[in-house]
Structure 1
Amino acid sequence: MATARDVAAYILRQRGPMTAMKLQKLVYYSQAWHLVWDEQPLFGESIEAWANGPVVPELYRAHRGNFRLDAAFDIGGDPDRLTPEQRDTIHAVLDAYGDKSAHWLSELTHREAPWRDTRGDLDDLQRSNAVITTDSMFEYYDALTEENADDV
């Protein structure tokens, strides 16, 4: 199975440079949509509902202290480990979200159920290390595809 670092390295290769926060959100959306389209996780690391949105702590430790990242930054992943299907998911995510700002992506995650429900009654600025489950991600984003199918 790919790792979150593999996914991040691939995203940086395709669309870098970008902020660490934007990278985190793109990795999150890659996981979410891979769950829906391929019905399996893209990577095994957990995603937590931090104050600025979903964060993969393992990935955070790799870029901590670096605001801006590019393909030359050693995130510790191997983008060549990804399968063609995994790359397809990431490309679709980059097409949909890649031109958005880190702030816009963070605000979007704050409006979506996986982050909100995981945080429960916490204020948006309070720290949390509660894990956003893959089940909650699948249910929410899969429902979005069903809503869009009803519009067709």
Structure 2
Amino acid sequence: MTVCDAAAYILEQSGEMTAMKLQKLVYYSQCWSLVWDETPLFDEAIEAWANGPVSPDLYACHRGKFKVGPGAIQGNPANLNESQKATIDEVMRFYGAKSAQWLSDLTHLEAPWQQARARAGVADGQNCQEQITLSDMHEYYSGLGSEPEKA
């Protein structure tokens, strides 16, 4: 399964949204998959861009678009297994109604994005291609007690 498969599933389930919101929902899906399923949802990297976590591979699929909808991302939701769908469904239940800006602001408050930016030595607002590591994601999100729990 790829990041674009996950994004296509999110769009199929939720309909049109901003590209920025899609990026944040894919990021949180990856984070919670690491915690709940103890495996990455997809192999593509996520980087600590100025506006929060971004998958460059997914960005390449929606570059230049403000909003994306079902069918806009070249991914195949059928590539997800039931556990992967359940993880994304729970992420969507918790984060899906939030605005893109709210999600972006939240990622800025959390350690994985901050740690990647610190490793890169960049200031707020500066471009950055530092990868947010799976270990940083797992360590941080597994330590949260008040976040969603997978059914």
TM-score for both structures, normalised by structure 2: 0.93
3-state DSSP class of the match of 2:47?
A: strand
What residue is the counterpart of 1:41 in the other structure?
Answer: 40
Q: Distance in 2 between matches of 1:124 and 1:4?
A: 26
Q: Report the secondary structure of 1:44's partner residue.
A: coil
CA distance in 2, matches of 1:38, 1:29: 13
Residue 131 (structure 1) aligns with = 131
Matches within 5 A, 1:1-152: 2-73=1-72, 75-120=73-118, 121-145=121-145
Gap runs ≥5 in structure 2: none
Identity in percent:
57
Q: CA deviation at 1:97?
A: 0.3
Partner-residue secondary structure (3-state), 1:131: coil
Give the Cα–Cα distance (whole angstroms) in 1 for the partners of residues 125 and 109 of structure 2. 14
User: Deviation of residue 123 (structure 1)?
Assistant: 1.6
Following TM superposition, by how much is the alpha carbon of 1:139 offset from its aligned partner in structure 2, in angstroms?
0.1
Q: CA deviation at 1:72?
A: 3.0
Partner Cα distance (2:16, 2:70) in 1: 7
| Partner Cα separation in structure 2 for residue 17 and residue 104 of structure 1 | 17
Cα distance in 1 between the residues matched to 2:47 and 2:86: 25
Q: C-alpha offsets along residues 75-106 of structure 1, whole Å, 9 cap, x if unaligned?
A: 11000110000000000000000000000000
| Cα root mean square deviation, aligned | 1.0
Aligned length: 145
Q: How far did 1:122 drift? A: 2.0
Task: Give the letter aligned to residue 79 of structure 1.
Answer: P
4+ residue segments displaced more than 6 Å: none
Cα drift, residue 124 of structure 1: 1.7
Unmatched runs of 5 consecutive residues or more in structure 1: none
TM (normalized to structure 1)?
A: 0.93
